Amino acid sequence: MAELAAWQLQLSESLPAWFVQAVQAHGPKDVPEAIALYAAQLLWQRGIRDQTTLAGWLDPNCYTPASPFAFGEEMHRAVTRLKAAWEQQEAIAIWGDFDADGITATSVLWEGLGQFFPQSDRLTYVIPNRLIESHGLSHGGIERLAATGVRLIVTCDTGSTNLDEIEHANRLGLDVIVTDHHTLPAQRPPVTAIINPRSLPPEHPLATLSGVAVAYKLVEALYATLPEVPTRPLNSLLDLVAIGLIADLVELRGDCRYLAQRGITQLQQNQDVATAPRPGVAMLLEFCKRTGDRPTDISFGLGPRINAISRIQGDARDGVELLTSQDESRCRQLAEATELANTRRRTLQQDLVKQVTARLSQMDLSTTSVIVLEDPQWSVGVLGLVAGQIAQEYGRPTILLSSAAPLPDAKPSPQTDSSPNPASSKASLLARGSARSVNQIDLYELVSSQQHLLTGFGGHPLAAGLSLPVDNIPLFTEGINRQLRQQSGRSGAIAPVALRVDLTVTVGELGKELFQALKMLEPCGMGNPAPNLLIRQCRFENIRQENIRDFKQRKVRYIKTEFEIADATGQFHGVWWGHYRDEIPPGWCDVVVQLDANSYRKRYEVRLMAVRPATAQALSVIAAGQEGLLDWRGQKHIPAEPENALVMRNCPTRWDDFRVWLRQARHDGTPLAIAYNPPPTADPLDTWQTLVGLAKYLSRTGQIASRAQLLKQLGIGDRPLRAGIRVLQAFGMTVTALPGGLRFAWDSTAQPSSEQSLSESQVSQAMDAFVSAVEEEQFQQRYFATVSIETIRAIATQLGSDPNPVDRPTASRESAG
């Protein structure tokens, strides 16, 4: 049975008056100050703490989006090639992917590039069949496109690691432009251009774009380059961008947040089929009983339905037609088929969860770090969904595989391969599946360690798809578990993912005013989750359960439980999706809920996230501040000497640096505030020149300098300084350690002593060691500047409970590559 996760209540802080006033100025005017304070508290907790950031975060009109040409030379190359194709009237193919991000990205390019290239005549699109094909480019599909006269392929949401396929396209005379957001290969593929936000610094406003947003940026650049050609406004694509962004669960910050905000505004124009710019989207909103004005209308409504097309049917091209067609009759047909596919997906998902849970109940999970299960009867289309559920529930990365033969009605895309990977022509011997991560574990790196056992693999740190011979599964399972044990230093689960609790409220505070205040944080997603509200000492009344019904009013084997939740301050309606009434404990409870607006029933309600008996002391709520950690990174207004915290202002390079500060904070009885940022990244050779200049100056003046003075002046740590001193000594500098510091003596006419005399290669090696030490230190500082506070808290707990200094796992340039 899965271990229950702790509830972590976020530490409340006193807010500056100017900040509260600024939040109120941007918020709804009829919300009481006490309720508006909740929104201010949440924004402060999430690092939105200065006027400029706050304004741009809450109001897209106050945000300046990045230029598409911020991608640099790669975007210029892509636009130049597309302009040449337009001038020469070349045929172009879009190569997409079969999830919601890939389908919307294909749709954005289909409509956006369609302003320059006649659709179906000189523009076509290809999406692999999810049930019988893999993500990405394929040899057979490329050959078919070449045979039809295509001379340029533009990928979306795929292609970064298809090195062999891209080389094959080049041999056939096809150019390739890759737009993608998945993990980059070690070296640039042989493409005309590759536009991938992973090539940008982590803090860049474009760094977290999903596939559809990258595709949109390419179209935006082409619109800017040939402004006289398009007849359709660029912003007409933003509703598609919002759907793909939110459905793909990327971090909604920077341009991601801006595009999602603008896109949701555009999406609201699809509430009436008769007037909607996208009849297919309007019909999907009808089926899921939503209006399109909330990000949850995408994450719980449109996104799952668009994904269900390929999960059940395999062929995702119907999704592109549904999103882009103006034929209402055809859209109605496609929307009904999509709704039926989503109904089938729910049933398959629920059944598979039960099967996997039953298998796990028979296993010894105490020695299992990574869950790997295979079954020939499992549907490939829902493996990723179930793997995500199991990973969260059991606190372990989860990989689910199926060796099932393709379904009888699953047909390959006509322009892609009609068979699986050529390396595994016997489908019965090949297992395909999905992997999902948990607890900040880099899944891509983990699975890559076993790449010699795989026939196909791709993804990113949180999710991946893979294929391998069935005979290799035992070796793969053993190898990937061993790899994670070596990385983490333990077996079994790391720890269940703690449930973040943002605010404590009463039932009486639930309703329109609180909803409007919390809505200021939308769109919510990774990095900005929907607020979880804790209600203590409440009880459930009028509990009833029912199967949900499809659009034809037929019961679906998917349960929801409805109830009224009550405490001394009032009563409020709620729903618990996928759970039965007998799972609700009797008597007084503590619950975690999310407040929502049900536009179909025209009421506000809560979505139950977790429930526990109020008397269960062992399961009591844990304050996140208990670890004594406050995350002040990125703040501009940090007091010089705050009274309530010990402030760590210098970016560390190892976990033992944290140990010293944690001990001091615990000794003082105050929280430790992490308030550092990475120092400006200097070229190591510039740092070397500065060291040489300081050494010459100190030698000439006869002064001595302490290590602390040198470290501050050079902006480096002790290890690079020691490496630099060794290089100086190799060139003939004498460095003497004195009680007050270091003395440097340089005689340019003297030869180095025999002890110091080094060969040219040894001097070069010493110089390389200095450069490497500086670069490694800079990398570690970037890691500690961006690592999540959850990871810091988890490792701080280990540091606090272990009195013996140990080497803690951290990043390295080699492992990150």
The predicted structure's pLDDT at residue 619: 32
Count CA within 13 A, CB hemisphere, residue 671. Answer: 21
Alpha-carbon span 378 to 591, nearest angstrom: 34
* CA nearest neighbour of 240 among 136, 93, 96: 96
- Indicate the helix (H) or strand (E) that contains 103: helix 100-112
| Tens digits of residue pLDDT in 767-803 | 888 888 888 888 778 777 777 666 676 666 655 544 4
Per DSSP, helices labelled H in 680-816 are: 684-701, 707-714, 718-730, 760-786, 789-801, 813-816
β-strand pairing of 533-549 with 589-598? antiparallel
Cβ atoms 776, 766 nearer than 8 A: no
* CA nearest neighbour of 791 among 623, 651, 609, 629: 629
Reduced to 3 states (helix: H, G, I; strand: E, B; else coil), residue 466 is strand
Collect all residues with Cβ–Cβ distance below 8 Å to 634 and sequence separation of at least 6. 47, 49, 677
DSSP 354-366: HHHHHHHHTS-GG
The predicted structure's pLDDT at residue 10: 77
Q: Tell me the three-class secondary structure of 562-609, residue by residue.
A: EEEEEECCEEEEEEEECCCHHHCCCCCEEEEEEEEEECCCCEEEEEEE
Low-confidence ranges of the chain (pLDDT < 70): 1-5, 11-12, 404-428, 489-497, 548-558, 615-628, 634-644, 678-679, 747-759, 788-791, 793-817
Q: How many residues does the chain have?
A: 817
Alpha-carbon span 293 to 501, nearest angstrom: 25
Range 665-698 burial, b when 16+ CB lie within 10 A, else e? beeeebbbbbbbebeeeeebeebbebbbebbeeb
Instruction: Provide the 10 A C-beta neighbour count for residue 363.
Output: 11
- Residue at token pair 């007037």: 275
Q: Give Cα 471 to chain centroid, integer Å.
A: 33
Q: Is 147 exposed, middle or buried (0-12, 13-18, 19+ CB in 10 A)?
A: exposed
Alpha-carbon span 519 to 262, nearest angstrom: 15
The predicted structure's pLDDT at residue 794: 62
| Tens digits of residue pLDDT in 178-198 | 999 998 998 999 999 999 999
- Residue 70 has φ and ψ, to the nearest 5°, of -65, -15
The predicted structure's pLDDT at residue 651: 84
Q: Tell me the three-class secondary structure of 498-537, residue by residue.
A: CEEECEECCHHHCCHHHHHHHHHHCCCEECECCCCEEEEE
DSSP 628-664: -EEE-TT-S---SS-TT-EEE-SPPSSHHHHHHHHHH
Instruction: Provide the 10 A C-beta neighbour count for residue 305.
Output: 24
The predicted structure's pLDDT at residue 798: 57
CA distances from 339 to 283, 307, 809 (A): 10, 11, 46
Alpha-carbon span 531 to 41, nearest angstrom: 11
